Amino acid sequence: MATTTTSTTNFSDLVTQLVAARAEEELRARAVHAMPGMYVPARFVKGTNTLRYARYADLAVSTTVLTEGTAPTDDALTISSEFFTAAQYGATVAVSDLANLDSPHDLISIAAERVAYKAVRSMDHLVRDEIFSSALTSAVFGATGATTLTANTANSAVAAAGVLSGSFVKQMVARLKGANVPQFADGTYRCIIHPAQEYDLISDTAVNGWIESRKYVDNTGLLTGEIGMFAGVRFIVSSDAKVYATAGASSGNVYNALFLGPDAYTIGDSQTLQSYFVAPGGDHSDPLAQKALVGYKMRFGTLLLDEAGARYRILKTQATVSV
Protein backbone atom coordinates (compact mmCIF):
# COMPACT_ATOMS: atom_id res chain seq x y z
CA MET A 1 0.00 0.00 0.00
CA ALA A 2 1.54 3.31 -1.10
CA THR A 3 1.91 6.04 1.53
CA THR A 4 3.22 9.61 1.17
CA THR A 5 6.20 9.82 3.55
CA THR A 6 9.19 12.08 4.21
CA SER A 7 11.16 9.92 1.77
CA THR A 8 8.69 10.49 -1.08
CA THR A 9 10.35 11.88 -4.22
CA ASN A 10 10.70 15.69 -4.04
CA PHE A 11 9.37 15.84 -0.47
CA SER A 12 12.77 16.76 0.96
CA ASP A 13 13.19 19.50 -1.65
CA LEU A 14 9.78 20.83 -0.68
CA VAL A 15 10.85 21.18 2.95
CA THR A 16 14.48 22.32 2.61
CA GLN A 17 13.75 24.99 0.03
CA LEU A 18 10.76 26.36 2.00
CA VAL A 19 8.67 26.82 -1.12
CA ALA A 20 5.75 29.23 -1.11
CA ALA A 21 2.83 27.91 0.88
CA ARG A 22 0.71 27.48 -2.20
CA ALA A 23 0.60 24.29 -4.22
CA GLU A 24 1.14 24.65 -7.95
CA GLU A 25 -2.14 24.30 -9.82
CA GLU A 26 -2.44 21.31 -12.11
CA LEU A 27 -3.57 21.56 -15.72
CA ARG A 28 -6.97 19.88 -15.68
CA ALA A 29 -9.39 18.36 -18.11
CA ARG A 30 -13.06 19.27 -17.92
CA ALA A 31 -15.56 16.63 -16.89
CA VAL A 32 -18.20 16.83 -19.63
CA HIS A 33 -19.74 13.38 -20.15
CA ALA A 34 -21.11 13.27 -16.59
CA MET A 35 -22.07 16.95 -16.62
CA PRO A 36 -25.61 17.59 -15.26
CA GLY A 37 -28.01 18.29 -18.08
CA MET A 38 -26.25 15.94 -20.52
CA TYR A 39 -28.01 12.78 -19.34
CA VAL A 40 -31.20 11.39 -17.79
CA PRO A 41 -30.80 11.11 -13.99
CA ALA A 42 -31.82 7.66 -12.76
CA ARG A 43 -32.56 6.44 -9.26
CA PHE A 44 -32.32 2.85 -8.09
CA VAL A 45 -35.04 1.15 -6.11
CA LYS A 46 -33.86 0.38 -2.59
CA GLY A 47 -32.81 -3.24 -2.21
CA THR A 48 -31.58 -3.72 -5.78
CA ASN A 49 -28.62 -2.57 -7.85
CA THR A 50 -30.50 -2.88 -11.15
CA LEU A 51 -32.54 -0.21 -12.90
CA ARG A 52 -34.75 -1.18 -15.82
CA TYR A 53 -36.36 1.07 -18.45
CA ALA A 54 -39.53 -0.14 -20.20
CA ARG A 55 -40.18 0.85 -23.79
CA TYR A 56 -43.52 0.85 -25.61
CA ALA A 57 -42.89 1.23 -29.32
CA ASP A 58 -45.00 3.66 -31.35
CA LEU A 59 -47.75 2.11 -33.43
CA ALA A 60 -47.27 2.03 -37.19
CA VAL A 61 -49.21 4.54 -39.28
CA SER A 62 -52.47 3.35 -40.85
CA THR A 63 -52.84 3.84 -44.60
CA THR A 64 -55.40 1.10 -45.37
CA VAL A 65 -58.96 2.16 -46.14
CA LEU A 66 -61.52 0.67 -43.75
CA THR A 67 -64.03 -1.81 -45.16
CA GLU A 68 -67.56 -0.72 -44.45
CA GLY A 69 -69.05 -2.61 -41.55
CA THR A 70 -65.78 -4.42 -40.82
CA ALA A 71 -63.62 -3.67 -37.79
CA PRO A 72 -59.92 -3.06 -38.43
CA THR A 73 -57.31 -5.59 -37.32
CA ASP A 74 -56.25 -4.93 -33.77
CA ASP A 75 -52.78 -3.53 -33.10
CA ALA A 76 -50.71 -5.01 -30.27
CA LEU A 77 -48.45 -3.05 -28.01
CA THR A 78 -44.77 -3.95 -28.39
CA ILE A 79 -43.01 -3.97 -25.04
CA SER A 80 -39.26 -4.16 -24.57
CA SER A 81 -36.82 -3.03 -21.93
CA GLU A 82 -33.20 -2.29 -21.21
CA PHE A 83 -31.39 -2.21 -17.88
CA PHE A 84 -28.09 -1.58 -16.16
CA THR A 85 -26.55 -2.36 -12.80
CA ALA A 86 -24.39 -0.30 -10.50
CA ALA A 87 -20.76 -1.03 -9.63
CA GLN A 88 -18.65 0.38 -6.82
CA TYR A 89 -15.53 2.51 -7.31
CA GLY A 90 -13.21 4.29 -4.90
CA ALA A 91 -9.67 5.33 -3.97
CA THR A 92 -7.64 6.56 -1.01
CA VAL A 93 -4.57 8.72 -0.40
CA ALA A 94 -2.38 8.11 2.66
CA VAL A 95 -0.31 10.86 4.31
CA SER A 96 2.16 10.05 7.08
CA ASP A 97 2.17 12.00 10.33
CA LEU A 98 5.72 13.29 9.75
CA ALA A 99 4.97 14.34 6.18
CA ASN A 100 1.97 16.32 7.35
CA LEU A 101 3.99 17.82 10.22
CA ASP A 102 7.03 18.86 8.15
CA SER A 103 5.30 20.04 4.98
CA PRO A 104 4.78 23.81 4.50
CA HIS A 105 1.43 22.88 2.91
CA ASP A 106 -1.73 21.45 4.39
CA LEU A 107 -1.34 18.01 2.83
CA ILE A 108 -4.69 16.78 4.13
CA SER A 109 -6.57 19.62 2.43
CA ILE A 110 -4.60 19.12 -0.78
CA ALA A 111 -5.24 15.38 -0.71
CA ALA A 112 -8.97 15.95 -0.14
CA GLU A 113 -9.19 18.32 -3.11
CA ARG A 114 -7.21 15.97 -5.39
CA VAL A 115 -9.31 12.98 -4.35
CA ALA A 116 -12.52 14.90 -5.11
CA TYR A 117 -11.26 15.75 -8.59
CA LYS A 118 -10.18 12.14 -9.13
CA ALA A 119 -13.70 10.98 -8.28
CA VAL A 120 -15.36 13.37 -10.72
CA ARG A 121 -12.98 12.65 -13.57
CA SER A 122 -13.10 8.90 -12.94
CA MET A 123 -16.88 8.99 -13.27
CA ASP A 124 -16.57 11.02 -16.47
CA HIS A 125 -14.19 8.46 -17.99
CA LEU A 126 -16.40 5.54 -16.97
CA VAL A 127 -19.45 7.18 -18.56
CA ARG A 128 -17.51 8.02 -21.74
CA ASP A 129 -16.13 4.51 -22.09
CA GLU A 130 -19.58 2.97 -21.56
CA ILE A 131 -20.99 5.16 -24.32
CA PHE A 132 -18.33 4.11 -26.80
CA SER A 133 -18.32 0.44 -25.81
CA SER A 134 -22.09 0.19 -26.29
CA ALA A 135 -22.64 2.52 -29.25
CA LEU A 136 -24.81 1.15 -32.04
CA THR A 137 -22.95 0.83 -35.35
CA SER A 138 -25.95 2.35 -37.12
CA ALA A 139 -25.26 5.58 -35.25
CA VAL A 140 -21.56 5.76 -36.16
CA PHE A 141 -20.20 7.57 -39.19
CA GLY A 142 -16.62 8.04 -40.35
CA ALA A 143 -14.91 10.64 -42.50
CA THR A 144 -13.57 8.36 -45.23
CA GLY A 145 -12.57 11.38 -47.28
CA ALA A 146 -12.41 15.16 -47.13
CA THR A 147 -16.11 15.41 -48.05
CA THR A 148 -17.39 11.85 -47.61
CA LEU A 149 -19.05 10.28 -44.57
CA THR A 150 -19.61 6.53 -44.49
CA ALA A 151 -21.88 4.68 -42.07
CA ASN A 152 -20.55 1.92 -39.81
CA THR A 153 -16.98 3.03 -40.45
CA ALA A 154 -14.08 1.11 -38.96
CA ASN A 155 -11.39 3.27 -37.41
CA SER A 156 -8.88 2.07 -40.02
CA ALA A 157 -11.03 3.55 -42.81
CA VAL A 158 -11.08 7.07 -41.36
CA ALA A 159 -9.00 9.09 -43.84
CA ALA A 160 -6.19 11.47 -43.02
CA ALA A 161 -8.03 14.10 -45.07
CA GLY A 162 -11.25 13.45 -43.16
CA VAL A 163 -11.17 16.24 -40.57
CA LEU A 164 -14.08 17.94 -38.80
CA SER A 165 -15.72 20.54 -41.03
CA GLY A 166 -18.86 22.62 -41.18
CA SER A 167 -20.19 20.37 -43.94
CA PHE A 168 -19.80 17.27 -41.79
CA VAL A 169 -21.57 19.00 -38.90
CA LYS A 170 -24.54 19.85 -41.13
CA GLN A 171 -24.68 16.25 -42.35
CA MET A 172 -24.73 14.95 -38.78
CA VAL A 173 -27.53 17.36 -37.86
CA ALA A 174 -29.52 16.16 -40.88
CA ARG A 175 -29.08 12.57 -39.70
CA LEU A 176 -30.24 13.45 -36.18
CA LYS A 177 -33.32 15.21 -37.50
CA GLY A 178 -34.00 12.45 -40.02
CA ALA A 179 -34.04 9.95 -37.16
CA ASN A 180 -36.50 12.15 -35.23
CA VAL A 181 -33.96 12.77 -32.46
CA PRO A 182 -35.41 15.67 -30.43
CA GLN A 183 -33.44 18.78 -29.58
CA PHE A 184 -32.73 20.13 -26.12
CA ALA A 185 -35.11 22.67 -24.61
CA ASP A 186 -33.12 25.54 -26.15
CA GLY A 187 -33.70 24.16 -29.66
CA THR A 188 -30.15 22.85 -30.19
CA TYR A 189 -28.17 19.63 -30.21
CA ARG A 190 -24.91 19.27 -28.28
CA CYS A 191 -21.59 17.84 -29.35
CA ILE A 192 -18.48 16.86 -27.38
CA ILE A 193 -15.30 17.23 -29.45
CA HIS A 194 -11.54 17.01 -28.89
CA PRO A 195 -9.30 20.12 -29.07
CA ALA A 196 -7.75 18.69 -32.25
CA GLN A 197 -11.22 18.68 -33.85
CA GLU A 198 -11.91 22.16 -32.51
CA TYR A 199 -8.92 23.48 -34.46
CA ASP A 200 -10.23 22.06 -37.74
CA LEU A 201 -13.80 23.21 -37.17
CA ILE A 202 -13.02 26.84 -36.36
CA SER A 203 -10.39 26.93 -39.13
CA ASP A 204 -12.94 25.90 -41.76
CA THR A 205 -13.61 28.98 -43.88
CA ALA A 206 -16.99 27.52 -44.87
CA VAL A 207 -18.30 27.79 -41.30
CA ASN A 208 -20.05 31.10 -41.91
CA GLY A 209 -22.59 30.77 -39.12
CA TRP A 210 -20.16 30.05 -36.29
CA ILE A 211 -20.95 31.97 -33.09
CA GLU A 212 -18.39 32.07 -30.30
CA SER A 213 -19.88 31.38 -26.88
CA ARG A 214 -18.75 34.75 -25.55
CA LYS A 215 -20.83 36.41 -28.30
CA TYR A 216 -24.10 34.68 -27.38
CA VAL A 217 -26.96 37.08 -26.76
CA ASP A 218 -27.23 35.42 -23.34
CA ASN A 219 -24.12 33.54 -22.24
CA THR A 220 -25.10 33.07 -18.61
CA GLY A 221 -26.04 29.42 -19.17
CA LEU A 222 -22.83 28.19 -20.78
CA LEU A 223 -22.06 24.51 -20.53
CA THR A 224 -18.73 23.34 -19.11
CA GLY A 225 -16.17 23.65 -21.89
CA GLU A 226 -18.61 25.26 -24.36
CA ILE A 227 -16.83 27.17 -27.13
CA GLY A 228 -19.56 28.13 -29.56
CA MET A 229 -22.49 27.19 -31.77
CA PHE A 230 -22.90 26.22 -35.42
CA ALA A 231 -25.75 24.75 -37.47
CA GLY A 232 -27.91 24.36 -34.37
CA VAL A 233 -25.23 22.52 -32.36
CA ARG A 234 -23.55 23.74 -29.17
CA PHE A 235 -19.95 22.51 -29.07
CA ILE A 236 -18.19 21.37 -25.89
CA VAL A 237 -14.42 20.81 -25.97
CA SER A 238 -12.59 18.36 -23.74
CA SER A 239 -9.21 16.65 -23.94
CA ASP A 240 -11.05 13.62 -22.52
CA ALA A 241 -13.17 13.23 -25.66
CA LYS A 242 -12.73 9.68 -26.98
CA VAL A 243 -9.57 9.12 -29.06
CA TYR A 244 -8.31 5.93 -30.69
CA ALA A 245 -4.56 6.49 -30.96
CA THR A 246 -2.94 5.64 -34.35
CA ALA A 247 -6.04 3.64 -35.34
CA GLY A 248 -6.91 5.55 -38.53
CA ALA A 249 -5.58 5.42 -42.06
CA SER A 250 -1.83 6.11 -42.24
CA SER A 251 -1.71 5.43 -38.46
CA GLY A 252 -3.44 8.71 -37.66
CA ASN A 253 -5.40 9.25 -34.45
CA VAL A 254 -9.17 8.83 -34.72
CA TYR A 255 -11.14 11.49 -32.83
CA ASN A 256 -14.81 10.97 -31.97
CA ALA A 257 -17.34 13.80 -32.03
CA LEU A 258 -20.36 12.80 -29.94
CA PHE A 259 -23.54 14.53 -31.19
CA LEU A 260 -26.40 14.32 -28.68
CA GLY A 261 -30.06 14.96 -28.30
CA PRO A 262 -31.65 14.87 -24.81
CA ASP A 263 -32.07 11.56 -22.99
CA ALA A 264 -29.30 9.85 -24.98
CA TYR A 265 -27.98 8.05 -21.91
CA THR A 266 -28.69 7.71 -18.23
CA ILE A 267 -26.58 7.76 -15.08
CA GLY A 268 -27.82 6.51 -11.74
CA ASP A 269 -26.25 5.97 -8.34
CA SER A 270 -27.34 3.49 -5.70
CA GLN A 271 -24.66 4.86 -3.37
CA THR A 272 -24.10 8.60 -3.62
CA LEU A 273 -20.50 9.74 -3.90
CA GLN A 274 -19.12 9.92 -0.38
CA SER A 275 -15.83 11.26 0.93
CA TYR A 276 -13.93 9.82 3.88
CA PHE A 277 -11.23 10.95 6.30
CA VAL A 278 -9.57 8.58 8.75
CA ALA A 279 -7.38 10.40 11.27
CA PRO A 280 -4.02 8.92 12.31
CA GLY A 281 -4.64 5.90 14.53
CA GLY A 282 -8.21 5.64 13.30
CA ASP A 283 -8.01 1.91 12.58
CA HIS A 284 -6.19 -1.19 13.81
CA SER A 285 -3.75 -1.19 10.87
CA ASP A 286 -2.26 2.07 12.20
CA PRO A 287 -1.60 1.37 15.93
CA LEU A 288 1.00 4.13 16.29
CA ALA A 289 -1.07 6.82 14.53
CA GLN A 290 1.45 7.24 11.71
CA LYS A 291 -0.80 8.09 8.78
CA ALA A 292 -4.06 9.70 7.79
CA LEU A 293 -6.31 8.47 4.98
CA VAL A 294 -8.42 10.56 2.60
CA GLY A 295 -10.66 8.79 0.11
CA TYR A 296 -13.93 8.47 -1.76
CA LYS A 297 -16.43 5.76 -2.62
CA MET A 298 -19.30 5.67 -5.06
CA ARG A 299 -21.59 3.11 -6.64
CA PHE A 300 -23.19 4.03 -9.92
CA GLY A 301 -24.06 2.80 -13.39
CA THR A 302 -24.66 4.22 -16.83
CA LEU A 303 -26.47 3.09 -19.98
CA LEU A 304 -27.02 4.27 -23.54
CA LEU A 305 -30.77 4.41 -24.10
CA ASP A 306 -30.79 2.71 -27.50
CA GLU A 307 -33.89 0.53 -27.32
CA ALA A 308 -36.21 3.20 -28.68
CA GLY A 309 -33.62 4.41 -31.19
CA ALA A 310 -30.24 6.08 -30.71
CA ARG A 311 -30.55 9.70 -29.59
CA TYR A 312 -26.97 10.37 -30.59
CA ARG A 313 -24.63 10.13 -33.56
CA ILE A 314 -20.86 9.59 -33.47
CA LEU A 315 -18.59 11.16 -36.09
CA LYS A 316 -15.09 9.69 -36.44
CA THR A 317 -12.47 12.00 -37.94
CA GLN A 318 -8.76 12.53 -38.07
CA ALA A 319 -7.26 15.96 -37.40
CA THR A 320 -4.82 18.37 -38.96
CA VAL A 321 -3.02 18.74 -35.65
CA SER A 322 -2.76 15.53 -33.60
CA VAL A 323 -2.67 16.24 -29.87
181 has a pLDDT exceeding 80: yes
Q: What is the mean pLDDT of residues 49-58?
A: 77
- pLDDT for residue 264: 93
Confidence of residue 20 (pLDDT cuts 50, 70, 90): low
Helix (H, G, I), strand (E, B) or coil at 233: strand
Q: What is the mean pLDDT of residues 269-296?
A: 85
Q: What is the mean pLDDT of residues 46-62?
A: 78
21 has a pLDDT exceeding 70: no
12 has a pLDDT exceeding 90: no
- pLDDT for residue 24: 64
- pLDDT for residue 25: 65
Q: What is the mean pLDDT of residues 217-243?
A: 92
Percent of the chain beyond pLDDT 90? 44
Task: Tell me which of 178 and 82 has the higher pLDDT.
Answer: 178
- pLDDT for residue 11: 62
1 has a pLDDT exceeding 70: no
Q: What is the mean pLDDT of residues 186-193?
A: 96
Q: What is the mean pLDDT of residues 62-67?
A: 88
Query: Per-residue pLDDT tens for 296-307?
Result: 898 888 988 887
Query: Per-residue pLDDT tens for 95-141?
Result: 998 988 888 888 888 888 888 889 889 999 999 999 998 888 889 99
pTM above 0.75, yes or no: yes
- Cα 313 from Cα 306, distance rounded (Å): 11
- Cα 163 from Cα 257, distance rounded (Å): 11
Q: Where are the alpha helices (DSSP H) in the chain?
A: 11-16, 97-102, 107-134, 166-178, 195-203
Confidence of residue 152 (pLDDT cuts 50, 70, 90): very high
Give 186's DSSP letter. T
What phi, psi does 228 have (nearest 5°)?
Answer: 165, -175
Q: Which domains does the chain have, with CATH numbers?
A: 29-66+75-130+266-304 (3.30.2400.10), 137-262+309-317 (no CATH)
Neighbours of 166 (CB within 10 A): 19
- Cα 182 from Cα 253, distance rounded (Å): 31
Q: What is the mean pLDDT of the chain?
A: 87
Query: Per-residue pLDDT tens for 251-275?
Result: 999 999 999 999 999 888 766 778 8
**Cβ proximity of 87 and 299 under 8 Å:** yes
- pLDDT for residue 2: 79
